[in-house]
Amino acid sequence: MAEYIAPIRDMQFVLNKLVGLENVSRLPGCEEATSDLVDQILEESGRFSSEVLSPLNQSGDKEGSSFENGAVRTPAGFKEAYRQFTEAGWNALQFPPEFGGQGLPTIVSTPVAEMWKSANMAFSLCPLLTGGAIEALLLRGAEEYKRMFLPRMVEGSWTGTMNLTESQAGTDLALIKTRAVPATDAELGPHYRIFGQKIFITYGDHDLAENIIHLVLGRTPDAPEGVKGISLFIVPKFLVDKHGSLGERNDVHCVSLEHKLGIHASPTAVMLFGEKDGAVGYLVGEENRGLEYMFIMMNAARFAVGLEGVAISERAYQRALAYAKDRIQSRDVAGSDKSVPIIRHPDVRRMLMSMKAHTEAMRALQYVVAASMDIARRHPDREERMRHQAFVDFMIPVVKGWNTETGIEMASIGIQVHGGMGFIEETGAAQHLRDARIATIYEGTTGIQANDLIGRKLARDGGATAKVVIQMIRECEAELAQAATGAEGAELAAIRESLARGTSAFAESAAWMVRSYKADIKAAHAGAVPFLKLAGIVCGGWQMARAALVAKKKLDSIAKGGTGDAAFYQAKIGTALFYADHVLSQAGGLRETVMHGARGVMALAEEQF
């Protein structure tokens, strides 16, 4: 089967026409991110994805990472691929130049990361986790630790992990028990000894890098109970001296790997800290503020997992499309002499359109948020920064929750397009569903995202940010109304109508949610996930509508003798129309569920289940 091909044409369309890459490249520190350089980066990362990562996706899944004699071995080819990955500088793309990074903005690292995830999600988790650990150190690490750890982590010769979960403490980190005892061995500088067991540690141990830098949540002896008594520690697999050289093996070990539904190549470790004298750990920032630091990083981590939804949808779509063009079965429903490729069958085409439309909507939304992350970080004007930060904060749970839920659905449709072959593992379609299934769970389940959305992001500011978003969508509707003339005018009018209805449903639900959050907190929470889904559908539809507007302008210009890829722009409008009729159309029903659904959710006593 053909390997993954990066959808560079659509990525460029989103970057240049929907996101405003130009504006981002005018930000201080982003001057290098010109359209030309970005094109070059996309070409190169696309090639690396197709040639190096994609060929290892299925073999990595089949073989899986293994744990033998106390060591984790990644599947055949992963070590060499990771060497090439770091040598080509891919690990360093978005990190600060002072630690060896290339300092490129999120809007550039996002499509690149999408490619890694599409080509080989299990592989991509290693740099993802390293990136998370780097961010934590950049944000709150002491200078000394930054110098000790960051250059090698940015380069990728050391990787990072996040050690949060314990068997009794998943979503509820207040229940963490891992202990961190201040220690006094002068040679090691100020440090703690860490004791405890962590589970679900992605790339907790492996053979790709010389060292692994664990970031670990734990409690000091006198820490307050609950979330306010959790501190964050750096625990390297091998101790590191001040010059960055590797020293002794630290007292932290992988004790087993989980047997998972998907992402088999990514080792998910149970990690034991302090089997003997305690693992040496260095405090990040101040004691008892570990969870706060984690939350600072949360946006980036959740954004990255949302991107997995986009990436798996794209990959599943490519595979289903190739099969549908190739597989000959049954005659055309409108009549044909012989059996035809199944892409000619309306229901197969419906499934492919659903995958295409959802993927493009999610991608556009994801990249728009990425650009806002850059602006929020780097814009010289404080108000502009705050405005974009509010947008980012609002959108992160939507992007994380909706894109990952949709990713599962699209991967499942990808199987369906294959018929019986989809159920056979050799085909490769099933792996995407298995891999996608984790993304609605880790970095906060969809329920947690939805609670974050209705609480911190919606109710806390009384719906102000939501109103700004709704106002932007209303402006897009007005533009659609104006543009709905001539060729493709009917399509734009239909898109506008569906978007308008969806936006009203979203606005009414948001207003209800703000009221209910005060009046009836349980009712609000009962409607949280349907509300998140509604927000995702409408915001995705907004981006599809924006894309249709751009396409319409391009087509008008082409009609007047201008140049351009008319087929691409016509397809954009057709895809936006599909989205309007098949996806945005769900908005009204979701409003009903949000605004009335709580009575059924809470109707039964626990014993009645």
Span 427-486, contacts to a second copy by CB under 8 A: 430, 433-434, 437-438, 440-442, 445-447, 450-451
CB of 160 to a second copy, least distance (A): 20
14 or 21: whose CB is closer to a second copy?
A: 14
Single out the residue of 139, 386, 519, 521 in contact with a second copy (rule: CB under 8 A): 521
**Contacts (CB under 8 A) with a second copy, residues 490-509:** 491, 494, 498
Single out the residue of 107, 453, 526, 535 in contact with a second copy (rule: CB under 8 A): 526
56 or 523: whose CB is closer to a second copy?
A: 523
**Selected range binding a second copy among 146-154, 392-400, 545-553, 578-586, rule: CB under 8 A:** 578-586
243 or 259: whose CB is closer to a second copy?
A: 259
Name 285's Cβ contacts closer than 8 Å, sequence gap at least 6.
140, 141, 232, 293
Single out the residue of 66, 168, 336, 471 in contact with a second copy (rule: CB under 8 A): 168
CB of 528 to a second copy, least distance (A): 6
Helix (H, G, I), strand (E, B) or coil at 104: coil
Gap between the Cα atoms of 134 and 153, Å rounded: 7
**Selected range binding a second copy among 89-97, 138-146, 243-251, 600-608, rule: CB under 8 A:** 600-608
CB of 340 to a second copy, least distance (A): 10
72 or 352: whose CB is closer to a second copy?
A: 352
108 neighbors 97 (Cβ within 8 angstroms) = no
For residue 576, which amino acid is it? A
User: What are residue 272's DSSP bridge partners?
Assistant: 197, 253
> What is the residue whose two structure tokens read 């110098």?
147
Largest distance between two CA atoms of the chain: 85
Closest to 441 in 3D by CA, of 579, 319, 256, 268: 268
**Contacts (CB under 8 A) with a second copy, residues 353-372:** 353, 356-357
C-beta atoms surrounding 562 within 10 Å: 12
Sign of CA dihedral 193, 176, 296, 96: positive
**Selected range binding a second copy among 8-16, 162-170, 305-313, 380-388, rule: CB under 8 A:** 162-170
Gap between the Cα atoms of 488 and 475, Å rounded: 20
Closest to 18 in 3D by CA, of 386, 542, 404, 533: 542
**Contacts (CB under 8 A) with a second copy, residues 226-255:** none
Name the catalytic one among 166, 308, 443, 491.
443
CB of 316 to a second copy, least distance (A): 13
CB of 375 to a second copy, least distance (A): 32
242 or 259: whose CB is closer to a second copy?
A: 259
CB of 437 to a second copy, least distance (A): 6
Residue 333 phi, psi (nearest 5): -65, -25
37 belongs to the binding site for a second copy (CB under 8 A): no
User: What are residue 231's DSSP bridge partners?
Assistant: 218
Residue 385 phi, psi (nearest 5): -60, -45
Helix (H, G, I), strand (E, B) or coil at 283: strand
Single out the residue of 416, 456, 468, 511 in contact with a second copy (rule: CB under 8 A): 416
**Selected range binding a second copy among 88-96, 181-189, 507-515, 590-598, rule: CB under 8 A:** 590-598
**Contacts (CB under 8 A) with a second copy, residues 375-394:** none
Closest to 378 in 3D by CA, of 19, 23, 15, 108: 23
Gap between the Cα atoms of 97 and 100, Å rounded: 5
**Selected range binding a second copy among 110-118, 125-133, 169-177, 475-483, rule: CB under 8 A:** 169-177
355 burial via Cβ count (<10 Å: 0-12, 13-18, 19+): buried
Single out the residue of 165, 181, 183, 188 in contact with a second copy (rule: CB under 8 A): 165
385 or 582: whose CB is closer to a second copy?
A: 582
Residue 545's alpha-carbon distances to 122, 154, 387, 427, 584, in angstroms, are: 33, 38, 22, 35, 11
Helix (H) or strand (E) holding 196: strand 191-202
503 or 575: whose CB is closer to a second copy?
A: 575
Single out the residue of 23, 58, 197, 412 in contact with a second copy (rule: CB under 8 A): 412
Number of residues near a second copy (by CB under 8 A) = 105
Question: Any catalytic annotation for residue 443?
Answer: yes
CB of 118 to a second copy, least distance (A): 17
**Contacts (CB under 8 A) with a second copy, residues 170-229:** 170-172, 174-175, 199-200
**Selected range binding a second copy among 75-83, 149-157, 281-289, 516-524, rule: CB under 8 A:** 516-524
249 or 331: whose CB is closer to a second copy?
A: 331
Gap between the Cα atoms of 461 and 30, Å rounded: 31
216 neighbors 133 (Cβ within 8 angstroms) = no
CB of 148 to a second copy, least distance (A): 31
Helix (H, G, I), strand (E, B) or coil at 71: strand
Gap between the Cα atoms of 446 and 452, Å rounded: 10
Gap between the Cα atoms of 441 and 448, Å rounded: 9
Q: Are strands 211-218 and 158-163 parallel, antiparallel or unpaired?
A: parallel
**Selected range binding a second copy among 303-311, 372-380, 468-476, 525-533, rule: CB under 8 A:** 525-533
> What is the residue whose two structure tokens read 């609950």?
226
Question: Given its phi and psi angles, is residue 313 left (phi above 0), alpha (psi -120 to 50 degrees) or beta?
Answer: alpha
**Contacts (CB under 8 A) with a second copy, residues 296-355:** 321, 325, 328-330, 333-334, 339, 343-353
Any idea of the CA torsion for 468, 371, 477, 497, to the nearest 10 degrees?
Answer: -110
248 or 258: whose CB is closer to a second copy?
A: 258
Residue 37 phi, psi (nearest 5): -65, -40
CB of 425 to a second copy, least distance (A): 5
166 neighbors 176 (Cβ within 8 angstroms) = yes
235 or 430: whose CB is closer to a second copy?
A: 430
CB of 46 to a second copy, least distance (A): 19
CB of 147 to a second copy, least distance (A): 35
235 neighbors 249 (Cβ within 8 angstroms) = no
**Contacts (CB under 8 A) with a second copy, residues 544-573:** 567-568, 570-571, 573
Give catalytic residues, as residue numbers: 443
